[in-house]
Amino acid sequence: MKIAVIGAGLMGSGITQQCAQAGFSTVNIDAFAAAQEKAKATLAALFERKVAKGRLTTEEADAILSRISYSTDYAAAGEADIVIEAVPEKIDLKKAVFKQLDAVCKAEALLLSNTSGLSISEIGSVTKRPQQVMGTHFFYPAPVMKLVELIRGLATSDEVYTQAKAFMHSLGKTTVDAPEYPGFIVNRILVPMQNEAAYMVMEGCSPEDVDTAMKLGTNMPMGPCELTDFVGIDVMLATMTGLYEGFHDSKYRPCPLLERMVKAGRLGRKSGQGFYTYK
């Protein structure tokens, strides 16, 4: 079985790694070769650390890497049996990607979107095969986090749902069925909590105190500010904005501090500055 992953950002590169680790020949497609170069370097460094820690042999690392290829051309998805789109969370961008996939993919290919909250029905509607389109939402870091949310659009067929679920299980993931409403299950609960943490920082609480309180008070592995930096402040803000616009409910209004930070280019770990400073 051949896999194509669209997007070489944090999620796309993690999903590519996960598919190759599970033994699948995987092509990563991104219009920007520079993003792929960065993803390649990050993966090489991650595997070096795993080999040094004795978690992986050099031969295993080489075998996984040999199953990954990179292309900047969507035509490379033509061979794929399963395509997983993981481009930034913007509906117009996702629709443009699915239109291109519709033009090049095999008729029977599964077209999966790693959206974290956008409508699968809307994404599928731009293709001539909305029954083949489904949501499979991974969590960051994709190779580590065990959950994948399965989201069916109005047109997704039973067969596609069953095949996508079986494929996620073959990647070693646990799946849950999530409703096709903004945020699905996890982000609808998690992201408003991160947003509330940002409000507390805006009101004068320190990120350290917010994170210590939540880590020691609820056993979270990372506090909400640390987690927002980890996932990307822009990504988290886009998800919160999706909840706000999707439910038309003021209870989801994004914290203005997050908007200021994104405008200033403080995107969290990836930019070196978020709630915390990174070297």
Q: Which stretch binds ligand 3HC (CB under 6 A): 21-29, 142-150, 203-211, 254-262?
A: 142-150
Which of 147, 153, 192 has the alpha carbon at shortest distance from 172? 147
Residue among 107 and 144 whose Cβ is closer to ligand 3HC:
144
Q: Per CB under 6 A, does 227 bind ligand 3HC?
A: yes
Which residues, 28 to 47, sit near ligand 3HC by CB under 6 A? 46
**Up-side HSE of residue 248: CA atoms within 13 Å toward CB?**
0
Q: Is 121 a catalytic residue?
A: no
Which of 151, 144, 148 has the alpha carbon at shortest distance from 123? 151
Q: Which stretch binds ligand 3HC (CB under 6 A): 128-136, 143-151, 160-168, 271-279?
A: 143-151
C-alpha to C-alpha distance for 5 and 263, rounded to whole angstroms: 29
**Cα first-last separation, the chain:** 40
Least distance in angstroms from the C-beta of 159 to ligand 3HC: 27
Supply φ then ψ for residue 136, to 5 degrees. -135, 100
Residue among 39 and 109 whose Cβ is closer to ligand 3HC:
39
Cα angle at 144 between 139 and 148, to 5 degrees?
40
In the list 70, 98, 139, 275, the residue contacting ligand 3HC (rule: CB under 6 A) is 139
Tokens of 21: 């680790």
Residues in CB range of 231: below 8 A, 6 or more apart = 10, 140, 268
State the catalytic residue, choosing from 85, 89, 122, 149.
149
Q: Using CB positions, name the residue nearest to ligand 3HC.
A: 116
Q: Is 195 a catalytic residue?
A: no
Residues in CB range of 70: below 8 A, 6 or more apart = 8, 27, 28, 29, 30, 33, 36, 40
The answer to whether residues 112 and 139 touch, using CB atoms and an 8 Å cutoff, is no
Residue among 48 and 73 whose Cβ is closer to ligand 3HC:
48
Q: Per CB under 6 A, does 187 bind ligand 3HC?
A: yes
State the catalytic residue, choosing from 116, 122, 195, 226.
116
- What are the E-state strand segments in the chain? 2-6, 25-29, 68-71, 82-85, 110-113, 133-137, 147-152, 174-177
Which residues, 77 to 136, sit near ligand 3HC by CB under 6 A? 116
State the catalytic residue, choosing from 114, 119, 187, 195.
187
Q: Is 116 a catalytic residue?
A: yes
Q: How many residues belong to the site for ligand 3HC (CB under 6 A)?
A: 19
Residues at the contact surface with ligand 3HC, assessed by CB under 6 A: 14, 46, 50, 53, 55, 116, 139-141, 143-145, 187, 190, 221-222, 227, 231, 235
Residues labelled as active-site residues = 116, 137, 149, 187
